[in-house]
């Protein structure tokens, strides 16, 4: 393993610009800003890629292309490099990419083609630029799982030492026709009422109902991400550039973290918009903090995740160290809880992903029935939305977000989504407005870029 210190920059986006146009370039972005203490990962040029469409996974490496109908996570387990004696925590080379909501792992409904993007896109990366904002330090890590990677060291050092010397002609991003939504207020109310009927019949306790927005678009997706990132900075953001499209995520929600045997998930359930007036903003925060309804929604998901983690964790280790904490982001206040545990002997990060995917905060409870109702009522597959983005390391560690506040650009269109949890005492108009509050940054971005 090779580690090379490099100059630290507070804004990793200024460095990632040298990679942004490369196929399979990945920027896992902790949001930047003066108070950021997170860790960013920048990578490109994977030595192996796995792309799942429907039930078939395409695996490409230096030897060529193979196709498999195996379970996608079994394939990832097969190809992920392993450190026999992990030297440290964090990313030490391994997998980066996304798992779409429609992937169908973990005993959930059979995989289907989400249409917009493949259901899984993961690369195995042997090097990464690691920017630690807490330590104000940057290093290039080359894991040497791939024999060819060490030969790139000199080139990569030159590239990252002088990123300002890199210039690219970039076409301003623009939205070329009006935005379309797959729910009208009236059709949303009909779906809402159907959910109320299911709750009253005892089929479920909570359903997360989401809307999909799209519009024709043109121009540079990397410029679009940089502007979205400025509008809505978030601690679990990402930009993924693939040959088949781009993923632009400004997610506030951590899904699964594994460090050693330790496991953590931080579900969000409960939202209020931010207000420019400080007094009004404080009132909204307190309203969320004291809301019996929002606490009940949050507790349902905490119980669901305790059950998910309990499938792979040591008995007695699953605990809830934080319940109903209000966290404030650029556009909204959220109610956040934290569930932790310790992996059982013989269990690893991929087992946890299988047990917990997709995240309960964006399905409802009970999860299996909630997903069936979502498939019935939402007019289109969710694709990347409500899936997960992040990394799995060769040392067994993992860090994934929930892909909310996330857009995709593919086949000349911009797509994004917003949703919220519906329970027995929800009100249709309030839930519809909550979707718009969550989509506020994207809606503002679209308005500003109408051609």
**SS3 readout for 186-240:** HHHHHHHHHHHHHHHCCCCCEEEEEEEEEEEEECCHHHHHHHHHHHCCCCEEEEE
Look up 22 and say whether it is catalytic.
Answer: no
Cα 277 to Cα 127, 274, 329, 443, distances in angstroms = 45, 9, 15, 21
Which one is catalytic: 253, 297, 348, 434?
253
Strand pairing of 388-393 and 398-402?
antiparallel
Which one is catalytic: 269, 378, 431, 438?
269
**The pair of three-digit structure tokens given for residue 158, joined into one six-digit string:** 């030159």
Interior/surface letters 55-65, b for 16+ CB within 10 angstroms, e for the rest:
bbbebeeeeee
Pair 392, 79: CB distance under 8 Å: no
SS3 content of the chain, % helix, strand, coil (to 5): 30, 35, 35
Omega before 358 within 30 of 0, i.e. cis: yes
Distance CA 203, CA 442 (A): 34
Cα 213 to Cα 254, 338, 410, distances in angstroms = 24, 30, 13
Cα 37 to Cα 5, 134, 175, 343, 416, distances in angstroms = 18, 4, 34, 27, 28
Distance CA 39, CA 128 (A): 12
Cα 23 to Cα 34, 49, 81, 240, 255, distances in angstroms = 30, 11, 22, 9, 26
Distance CA 320, CA 313 (A): 14
Look up 438 and say whether it is catalytic.
Answer: no
Pair 91, 141: CB distance under 8 Å: yes
Active centre residues (catalytic): 253, 269
């Amino acid at each position: 393993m090779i580690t090379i210190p490099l100059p630290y920059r507070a804004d990793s986006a200024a460095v990632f610009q040298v990679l942004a146009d490369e196929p399979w370039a990945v920027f896992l972005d902790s949001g930047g800003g003066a108070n950021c203490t997170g860790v960013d990962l920048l990578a490109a040029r994977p030595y192996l890629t796995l792309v799942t469409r429907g039930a078939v996974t395409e695996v490409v490496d230096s030897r060529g292309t193979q196709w498999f109908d195996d379970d996608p996570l079994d394939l990832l387990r097969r190809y992920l490099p392993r450190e026999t004696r992990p030297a440290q925590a964090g990313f030490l080379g391994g997998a980066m990419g996304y798992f779409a909501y429609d992937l169908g792992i973990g005993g959930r409904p059979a995989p289907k083609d989400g249409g917009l993007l493949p259901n899984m896109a993961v690369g195995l990366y042997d090097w990464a630029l690691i920017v630690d904002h807490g330590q104000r330090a940057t290093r290039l890590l080359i894991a040497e799982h791939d024999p060819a990677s060490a030969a790139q060291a000199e080139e990569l050092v030159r590239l990252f030492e002088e990123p300002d010397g890199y210039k690219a002609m970039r076409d301003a991003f623009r939205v070329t026709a009006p935005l379309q939504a797959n729910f009208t207020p009236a059709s949303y109310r009909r779906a809402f009422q159907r959910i109320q009927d299911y709750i009253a019949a005892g089929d479920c306790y909570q359903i997360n109902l989401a809307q999909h927005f799209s519009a024709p678009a043109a121009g540079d997706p990397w410029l679009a991400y940089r502007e979205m990132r400025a509008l809505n900075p978030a601690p679990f953001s990402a930009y993924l550039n693939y040959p088949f499209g781009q993923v632009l995520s400004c997610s506030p929600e951590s899904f699964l973290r594994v460090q050693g045997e330790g496991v953590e998930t931080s579900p969000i359930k409960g939202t209020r918009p931010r207000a420019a007036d400080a007094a009004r903003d404080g009132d909204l925060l307190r309203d969320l903090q004291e809301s019996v309804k929002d606490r009940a929604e949050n507790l349902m998901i905490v119980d669901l995740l305790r059950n998910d983690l309990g499938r792979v964790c040591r008995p007695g280790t699953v605990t809830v160290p934080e319940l109903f904490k209000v966290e404030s982001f650029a556009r909204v206040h959220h109610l956040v809880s934290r569930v932790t545990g310790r992996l059982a002997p013989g269990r690893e990060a991929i087992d946890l992903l299988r047990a917990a995917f997709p995240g309960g905060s964006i399905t409802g409870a009970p999860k299996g029935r909630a997903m069936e109702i979502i498939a019935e009522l939402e007019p289109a597959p969710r694709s990347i939305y409500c899936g997960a983005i992040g990394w799995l390391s060769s040392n067994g560690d993992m860090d994934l977000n929930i892909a909310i506040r996330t857009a995709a650009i593919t086949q000349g269109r911009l797509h994004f989504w917003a949703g919220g949890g519906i329970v027995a005492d929800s009100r249709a108009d309030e839930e519809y407005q909550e979707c718009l509050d969550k989509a506020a940054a994207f809606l503002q971005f679209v308005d500003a870029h109408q051609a």
